[in-house]
Amino acid sequence: MSPSAGVAPPIAAFFATIGFAALAIFGFGFTSLLTDTDVLAEPALGQGAGITAMLVAALVFAATGYGAIRRGRYVGALWVAAATLAAYLVGIAAGGILTGADPAVAVGAVGDFAVSWYLLVLAVTAAVAAWAGIALGRTRASRPQWPWERADDEE
């Protein structure tokens, strides 16, 4: 049996993106519990801003994560995290404006998020998930096999 070429970049990016979204949502919830604050504390934004921000961040994470996985360099995780943070901030503003909030309120919410613990949670989550995706793409492991499936045992 030939050594595996690793997990295909699209599959590794898919799993990393799902992991990023799950970890970010968990991290936001846990941080909210610990700090007794809301992720987006401005009530005029509604839920649309948070949903839009997470969707935009996940899409940017997937796109930049795919590129980082294809390159196979772990430093790419930092660039993925930076792009994901920027996308989340833009998503807050865009989501707030799309849901009918005053643009000044939406931009203010971006500023509040940018100086909160939630930004750190999002940055760490994006970097860890991107690193895991890159590691998954670089692995040379193959699927597990039963002893009788191995080619060297057939002789």
Q: Is residue 41 part of a domain?
A: yes
Q: Is residue 134 part of a domain?
A: yes
Q: Is residue 149 part of a domain?
A: no
Q: Is residue 152 part of a domain?
A: no
Contact (CB, 8 A) for 40 and 109: yes
- Between CA 71 and CA 83 the distance in angstroms is 16
Number of domains comprising the chain: 1
Determine whether 14 is exposed, middle or buried from the number of CB atoms within 10 Å of its CB (0-12, 13-18, 19+). Answer: middle
Q: Is residue 146 part of a domain?
A: no
Largest CA distance in the chain: 74
Q: Please list the rounded mean pLDDT of every run of 10 residues in the chain (155 residues).
A: 69 96 97 95 90 97 96 95 98 94 94 96 98 91 76 57
The whole domain housing 16 covers 9-140
pLDDT at residue number 4: 56
- Does this model's pTM top 0.75? yes
Q: Is residue 153 part of a domain?
A: no
Contact (CB, 8 A) for 65 and 16: yes
